[in-house]
A = this chain, B = another copy of it.
């Protein structure tokens, strides 16, 4: 049995849903999930649909071609069709913090994540033993003031060589160069250790402490050129009090960061995120 996921984005107009569901029916598919969203102010239409095809002769490529001419061209859709067999390939960028790394690899190991991790890249060697334990190739690419372009080139080569679909910055702590953002638009997921848009930039726990907030947060977002300004995928928060020191906030924040990043990774890997106007539509 073939199972596909279809993502559609176009201007809203009558009959899109009927046309698409009809098309599926004519191709002898059974819709097992359909969700849609209309931004009525902007007049934008979004849809996510999962369909199963039991006929042995079903061919995803032919289906795509037919979809394009029958529907996508007419409704001027931006669209993507994924076979549920093809797991996305994720590159993990890390630095010296291990909590998100342990968390993601633990979930990966237990089969909770519907993706593949061909390798890990780090600008430091510290966490190589963890990669080794989980038997995932580890590339040490140091990043200094002077070698930024070379480092990015090395990274991009690895990404292309392995056919990477998206990148996760698990507390990577380095600015991503424009060249990489352009190659992976809305495909680089960062975890920022604050409740954005509060406390953009470095040391957000210190800023949160200074401001005396009663709740701290973490935010996972796609990386754009604007620092911590990309489309937000997931956020979560936890309560703090005056009695929490900065190290306490950092420790409590680690738990948030792990869960928020893991949720964002799952949503992205399951093709449940669509982006427009620097915002996300999440079909969950």
Contact = CB atoms under 8 A, between A and B. Distances in A.
Contacts of A19: 25
Which applies to chain A's interface (DSSP): helix, strand, loop or mixed?
Answer: mixed
A98 B233 CA distance: 28
B25 A18 contact: yes
A116 interface: no
A280 to B, nearest CB: 6
Contacts of A15: 25, 30
Interface in A115-157: 133
A237 B234 contact: no
A215 B212 contact: no
A98 B133 CA distance: 15
B35 A24 contact: no
Contacts of A212: 231-232, 277-280
A174 interface: no
B37 A242 contact: yes
A241 B283 CA distance: 10
B215 A236 contact: yes
A162 B236 CA distance: 40
Contacts of A231: 212
A255 to B, nearest CB: 6
Interface string A189-200: 000000111110
A40 B245 CA distance: 9
Given A22-B18, A234-B214, A282 B37 contact: no
B195 A215 contact: yes
Contact of A22 (B22, B31, B110, B237): B22
Nearest to A263: B255
8 contacts: A18-B21, A21-B21, A98-B109, A99-B110, A198-B198, A212-B231, A212-B278, A242-B279
